[in-house]
Amino acid sequence: MGAAGNSIVTCMRRSLSMIITVLMATCTCAYAVCMAIIMHREKRLSVISIPHIFSIILCGASVYGYGMLHCVSQRNRYLLHIITLVLICALCCIGQSIGLTSLTIYTCDDLGLINVTNFDNLLEQEPNFPAADEDVVVNNTTSEDFSVRPVRHCMLNTAAFMCAIINALLQIFALFDVQKVLLEKEKERTYGMGLVESAGCK
């Protein structure tokens, strides 16, 4: 492949990386908004909320790191290892967050709440507790499952779950992309023959 072909491939890869970065940022923002509303309604920071907070922070860091992927020079290629570590940590936290939200969604589905939508008073802090003999409650009310675990905010947890799933898939793609760029830079450093076009910004 000639120089023109290499330039086209490099341009396409950078464009794809930018699109993935924008999608990751969008999913991270949507996930953060959903979890912020849930925490606001809960009025307290529970132990279950801590993994979600770490997940949001690491996702934001991974978006920033992946966004500067093609601006890492040959001398600063060690930054690619840091970006890789951040992506792996973000994936681990997202996985734990997905597991936590899936438990609530599973219980909501068993209670018949998963398809109930109530977007009125989205920031309402006080939930309406159902009567003891009610079988179905609306979205912003509270029930308990067989483990006596509070079940709240089914729609918000579902939205957060979907954002986390999409974000995890994008993070996996970003991780492989970072490894490809790292491999190219290592080849460049090892052979020094210009066989691999530099992806760094001057």
Q: Summarize pLDDT for 47-86 with one digit per residue, the tens.
A: 778 888 999 999 999 999 998 887 777 667 788 889 999 9
Residue 13 falls inside a structural domain: yes
Beta carbons of 156 and 162 less than 8 angstroms apart: no
Residue 201 falls inside a structural domain: no
Residue 59 falls inside a structural domain: yes
Q: What is the pLDDT of residue 150?
A: 53
Say how many C-beta atoms besides its own lie within 10 A of residue 34's C-beta. Answer: 23
**Cα–Cα separations (whole angstroms), residue 55 to 21, 46, 124:** 17, 15, 25
Q: What is the pLDDT of residue 32?
A: 93
Domain range spanning residue 101? Answer: 3-117+142-191
Tell which wins on pLDDT, 78 or 42: 78
Residue 14 falls inside a structural domain: yes
**Cα–Cα separations (whole angstroms), residue 29 to 84, 86, 162, 195:** 21, 18, 13, 39
Under the banding of pLDDT at 50, 70 and 90, the label for residue 25 is very high
Q: What is the pLDDT of residue 144?
A: 45
Under the banding of pLDDT at 50, 70 and 90, the label for residue 113 is low
Residue 128 falls inside a structural domain: no
Count of structural domains, the chain: 1
H-helix or E-strand containing 143? strand 143-144
Q: What is the pTM of this model?
A: 0.70
Residue 132 falls inside a structural domain: no
Taken as a whole, the chain contains a residue count of 202
Q: What is the pLDDT of residue 64?
A: 92
Residue 134 falls inside a structural domain: no
Under the banding of pLDDT at 50, 70 and 90, the label for residue 43 is confident
Q: What is the pLDDT of residue 142?
A: 46
pLDDT of 140 > 90? The answer is no
Helix axes 49-67, 3-42, angle to 10 degrees: 160
